[in-house]
A and B are shown apart, each in its own frame.
Chain A
Amino acid sequence: ETGVTQTPRHLVMGMTNKKSLKCEQHLGHNAMYWYKQSAKKPLELMFVYSLEERVENNSVPSRFSPECPNSSHLFLHLHTLQPEDSALYLCASSQDVDGNSGNTIYFGEGSWLTVV
């Protein structure tokens, strides 16, 4: 248990569906992240939120839409995805976005997404 909870753990969706991934952190952190993990590839940073404001958007296609209603919750809304978007989507949090005290990032278990 890392203090970061993601739901659902597994999701299969068609290319025309609309679905959402949910993340909740119980660590009192100010920063939250979405990462994409594909087989044999490095973790790719998608979005960063600091105190509910988006501070990073790494050229992610608009079919991925993040939402951060408060510092404990983060969503990733999915719409008209492609099969190549199938991957493990990891949510993470840290105390802040800067480097104070090492600022370790803690990950959730991930949501396995399959687009058919």
Chain B
Amino acid sequence: GQNIDQPTEMTATEGAIVQINCTYQTSGFNGLFWYQQHAGEAPTFLSYNVLDGLEEKGRFSSFLSRSKGYSYLLLKELQMKDSASYLCAVRDEDYKLSFGAGTTVTVRA
């Protein structure tokens, strides 16, 4: 089966930066996704990486290294509304999407 690991919880202060790491071992690779999920709500798409490097979208950036099976999601200038669960998901050679268990980020004032 596929193996996707990310930390369970992280806490940071408003205005700070937090980096959520994701490592994966999958049969083949066809892209990595990050989703944000607020409690009781649907996961919403944040970013997609298929080539190595950094993708920046406003306060959020996502990095991928395919050779290392590694990605991170960087959240800058943290706001209280960024408190949520962040899900790393990898699409394998059969285009099946497998998810990590999610990282709960708590932003403190």
Give 1 or 0 for each of B21-34: 1 = CB within 8 Å of chain A CB: 00000000011010
Please classify the interface of chain A as helix (H, G, I), strand (E, B), loop, or mixed, using the class held by over half of its residues. loop
Q: How many B residues touch A, CB cutoff 8 Å?
A: 24
CB interface residues, A 68-116, toward B, < 8 Å: 90, 97-99, 102-110
Contact B42 A99 (CB under 8 A): no
CA A97 to CA B97, docked complex, whole Å: 10
Contact A2 B44 (CB under 8 A): yes
Across the A-B interface, how many residue pairs have beta carbons closer than 8 Å? 50
Say if the beta carbon of B50 comes within 8 Å of chain A.
yes
Contact B45 A42 (CB under 8 A): no
User: Chain A: interface residue count, which band?
Assistant: 20 to 34
Say if the beta carbon of B72 comes within 8 Å of chain A.
no
Contact A56 B101 (CB under 8 A): no
CA A46 to CA B32, docked complex, whole Å: 20
Q: Using Cβ atoms and an 8 Å threshold, which residues of chain B touch A109?
A: 41-42
Q: From B44, which residue of chain A is reached at the shortest CB distance?
A: A2
Which residues of A come within 8 Å of B, CB atoms? 2, 4, 40-43, 45, 56, 90, 97-99, 102-110
